[in-house]
Amino acid sequence: MGEPGTKATLSLAELEAATSMRTGRKHVLSILVENKSGVLTRIAGLFARRGFNIDTLTVGPTDDDQVSRVTLTVDGALHPIDQVTKQLHKLINVLKIRDLEPADTVARELALFKVAADGVQRGELMQIAEIFRGKVVDVTKRAVIIEVTGTTDKIEAFEGMVRPFGLIEMMRTGEIAISRGRSET
């Protein structure tokens, strides 16, 4: 492979081959952090420096007001995850990291869908919402807002169902995740 200091021109294939150790699965990282200013920037910065794209990111309080939880998802097919978790551990304000196994994890996200709905369509939409255990939280003459909670798959499936009605906009929180069983996440 051509070295930056030499005349050799780099091919795109060579550049791609230079990154390694991808796992191929989605990773849900659950990170306990000290509730201090700048922590999120430090975490996000670590990913950005490696050119990693964070798919979703949520931050919220825990039962201890000194501690917050960051849940973020990254595509392991695109990015090697091992180095970044080790680097995360080095951040002074990071207390604990878990790379959650999908099978041992309950993950949920909340989504709000604003869908165009005239009188005729409204009934059908509400039926679909019911099947997905969604809730209609607002209705106006020309639109409804539906709240859906669930896994990413479920939310994407619901999106597919309502899109033909005229999806005006959609907002998603990103996943939060908790490990199964007695032990703490």
Partner 1 sequence: MRAVDAVMECLKAEGVDVVLGLPGGANLPTYDAFVGGGIRHILVRHEAGGGHAAEGYAKATGKVGVAFATSGPGATNLITPICDAMMDSVPVVFITGQVRTELLGTDGFQEADTIGITMPVVKHSFMIQSPQEIPRAIHEAFHIARTGRPGPVLVDIPMDLSRAEIDYEPVTDVHLPGYQPRVEGNQKQVRQAAKALAAAQRPVIYAGGGVVNANASEELIEFATSDRFPVTCTLMGLGAFPAPHDQWLGMLGMHGTRAANYAMDEADLICAIGARFDDRITGKLSEFAPRAKFIHIDVDPAEISKNVPAHIPIVGDAKHVLAKLVIEYRAIGADPARLAAWWTRIEGWREKYPLGYEDSPDAEIKPQFMVQALHEATGGQAIVTSDVGQHQMWAAQYYDFPAPRRWINSGGLGTMGFGLPAAMGAAIGCPDQLVCCIAGDGSVQMNAQELATCAQNNIPIKVFIMNNGYLGMVRQWQELFWDGKYSHVDTGEFPDYVKLAEAYGATGLRFEDKATLVEDMKRAIATDGPVLVDVRVTREENTYPMIPAGQAAREMVG
Alpha helices (H) along 91-177: 119-131, 152-166
Regarding 50 and contact with partner 1 (CB under 8 A), the answer is no
Regarding 180 and contact with partner 1 (CB under 8 A), the answer is no
- For partner 1, the closer of residues 88 and 111 by Cβ is 88
- For partner 1, the closer of residues 38 and 51 by Cβ is 38
Site for partner 1 in 80-119 (CB under 8 A): 82-83, 86-87, 89-95
Select from 35-43, 102-110, 135-143, 146-154 the region that touches partner 1 (CB under 8 A): 35-43
Whole-Å CA distances, 100 to 18, 110, 112, 121, 167: 27, 19, 26, 40, 32
Please report the DSSP string for 60-81 in residue order.
Answer: EE-SSTTEEEEEEEEETTTS--
Regarding 45 and contact with partner 1 (CB under 8 A), the answer is yes
**Per-residue exposure over 44-65, b if at least 16 CB sit within 10 Å of its own CB, e if not:** eebbeeeebebbbbbbeeeeee
Select from 32-40, 71-79, 99-107, 142-150 the region that touches partner 1 (CB under 8 A): 32-40
Q: How far apart are CA 76 and CA 140, in angstroms?
A: 42
| Shortest distance in whole angstroms from residue 144 CB to partner 1 | 40
- For partner 1, the closer of residues 8 and 106 by Cβ is 8
Regarding 1 and contact with partner 1 (CB under 8 A), the answer is yes
Whole-Å CA distances, 135 to 59, 73, 89, 96, 140: 24, 26, 40, 35, 15
Report the interface residues with partner 1, using CB under 8 A: 1-3, 5-8, 33-34, 37-38, 41-42, 45, 49, 82-83, 86-87, 89-95
